[in-house]
Amino acid sequence: MEKLFKKTFAILALLVLTAFTIPTTVYICLSPGGKKYHYDRGCRGLNNCTHEIKAVSKGDAEGRGLDLCGWED
């Protein structure tokens, strides 16, 4: 019985860990002047984007020196 408990606990721990390590997808406008990333693909900050809109991980966006959009903070 204890063995089953440990196995269940290990699976639960793994699930929690996985949930926290899944990268958040954000959207960025690939314009040269783009300095923001957006959680919402339909954000009004992205409506102005005349370039390609790309989905990247939040870490990737921050690595590009982008900040969270002013409409979504």
Residues pairing with 25 in the sheet: 57
Among 28, 29, 38, 66, binds Zn ion (CB under 5 A): 38
Among 26, 29, 45, 56, binds Zn ion (CB under 5 A): 45
* Secondary element (H or E) of residue 20: helix 2-21
Rounded CA-CA distance 27/53 in Å is 7
Q: Which amino acid is at 68?
A: L
Least Å distance between CB 40 and Zn ion? 6
Q: Among residues 21 and 47, whose Cβ is nearest to Zn ion?
A: 47
Q: Which amino acid is at 28?
A: I
Using the rule CB under 5 A, is 43 a contact of Zn ion? yes
Interaction site with Zn ion (CB under 5 A): 38, 43, 45, 69, 71-72
